Chains A and B, each alone.
Chain A
């Protein structure tokens, strides 16, 4: 693991218009790590994802591979090696599965970018539905497509926001396996998740967010042992 984090977030504030949502978040993701970002609904986890991708107004410091990126636009963040799988999956309706994948690859995609055939060889179920309108896929298939789409440009890190939301327990397990498989290919993951069991099982490091700030940072084991944090910030 190199000393310079792949992603380093320091004192990040984010806003929706006049609404101040993030109040100075600190977070690191190192190469090869799966980092889980936990917390109750509404504490600002999805906003942090959007702030990292520059989709919402942000202030503070966000470094990617040591480079300051706070002034960059979303497409420039992606071109630095970040992939984004949004909360609602945001599959493009009216386009086929394959067209969705094609759009996953931007014009600056480097040598690490995936080909459509590589995606299909890893995920054969997508190949079977390559010509299907992506909007009619099941929730699990849409999640798989959204993640593969994010992999197409060969990112170093993908930000995955609530991948198991609305999915059946069996599919939740499959999504967990999918992320573990992605991590094995050398891609780091920043995972925003409500389902603690799955997140704690696959994560190398865990952050807990509360009131727009990170309130805990440690290993899954440390979090399990910290009953005060669990009670105060995670239990409903």
Chain B
């Protein structure tokens, strides 16, 4: 039971990390209609910027400055790149972000090399917070969870309790009308894009040293991110939140499960069939082997039975 709770907490942590990325992506899509293929690249930049800043000073310097730098860079890209490309339609925007993802990846390789960089967990948080049934829970994981929850609450308060939040909510339905009411909507879009990628940068800061900071990390995270926003429903923040938690927890749970179908049949008192023939692998595959495929399987099923995703309003 203790192990299960640990796995659940870890799944929650992974899910929250995914939400830090998917929230910005889905918000940018809902507001601007831009499916930002480069979103995970900003996550990678957050990790690399934090690594660089922590090598100058401390981890805490990176924690504060790296997301800010990523946000400013994102805002500049929106202002001087996306806004110009926008005139040529959504396909041009899509191609722009697609190219941007490659550009950022190559730049990262040029500057920091092809190998992972030694971005480490800060010493002050590198200890066991508590141990239950012989399992250690690190202080850094608890810190990550704290940051993720704080970010979630902050985004919620920003959207629901501030004037900027009201403007964002209004722009979701009638951006032109909001613009004609005297609000500088292009600037709002720039802020949302900058803010969204800053959140991805923050996820990179706290996730880069927990996972691995290397040039392939954006691509690795990027595909699962799109699964989440489509699964949750394009344009739905709550949908992205639910999908992040479901996929985060389910994947983490599956990784710990080694019981194969043969074991299950044997446990029920039956005899496992001879593992031969075309489908022999099915009897010996453990859920842990299927964990990486699981989100995509979920996506395919959902697209067939409910194309708009969990809470989305659009059909495509």
Q: Chain A interface (Cβ within 8 Å of chain B)?
A: 53-55, 73-75, 77-79, 83-84, 86, 90, 92-95, 99-100, 102-104, 106-109, 149-150, 153
B182 & A53 in contact (Cβ 8 Å cutoff): no
In angstroms, Cα B176 to Cα A158, docked, is: 16
Q: Chain B interface (Cβ within 8 Å of chain A)?
A: 163, 166-167, 169-170, 172-174, 176-186
Main secondary structure, interface of B, reads: helix
In angstroms, Cα B185 to Cα A53, docked, is: 14
A55 & B176 in contact (Cβ 8 Å cutoff): yes
B170 & A95 in contact (Cβ 8 Å cutoff): yes
Q: How far is the CB of B307 from chain A (nearest CB, A)?
A: 22
Interface centre among A79, A83, A92, A108 (most CB of B within 10 A): A92
Residues of B close to A149: CB separation below 8 A: 181
For this complex, 6 residue pairs linking A to B, each with C-beta atoms less than 8 Å apart, are A73-B179, A74-B176, A74-B179, A84-B181, A94-B169, A108-B182
Contact residue among B166, B169, B174, B182 (Cβ-Cβ distance under 8 Å from A75): B182
In angstroms, Cα B169 to Cα A210, docked, is: 37
Q: How far is the CB of A190 from chain B (nearest CB, A)?
A: 14
Residues of A close to B176: CB separation below 8 A: 55, 74
Residues of A close to B183: CB separation below 8 A: 75, 103, 106-107
A150 & B181 in contact (Cβ 8 Å cutoff): yes
Residues of A close to B186: CB separation below 8 A: 73
In angstroms, Cα B178 to Cα A83, docked, is: 11
In angstroms, Cα B176 to Cα A77, docked, is: 13
A92 & B170 in contact (Cβ 8 Å cutoff): yes
A103 & B180 in contact (Cβ 8 Å cutoff): no
A103 & B174 in contact (Cβ 8 Å cutoff): no
Q: How far is the CB of B161 from chain A (nearest CB, A)?
A: 11
Q: How far is the CB of A162 from chain B (nearest CB, A)?
A: 14
In angstroms, Cα B166 to Cα A83, docked, is: 19
Contact residue among A77, A84, A108 (Cβ-Cβ distance under 8 Å from B177): A84
B173 & A103 in contact (Cβ 8 Å cutoff): no
Q: How far is the CB of B266 from chain A (nearest CB, A)?
A: 54
Given contacts A92-B169, A92-B170, contact A103 B179 (CB under 8 A): no
Determine the residue in chain A with the shortest Cβ distance to B163: A102
Q: How far is the CB of B89 from chain A (nearest CB, A)?
A: 10
A75 & B177 in contact (Cβ 8 Å cutoff): no
Residues of B close to A79: CB separation below 8 A: 182
B180 & A75 in contact (Cβ 8 Å cutoff): yes
In angstroms, Cα B180 to Cα A94, docked, is: 20
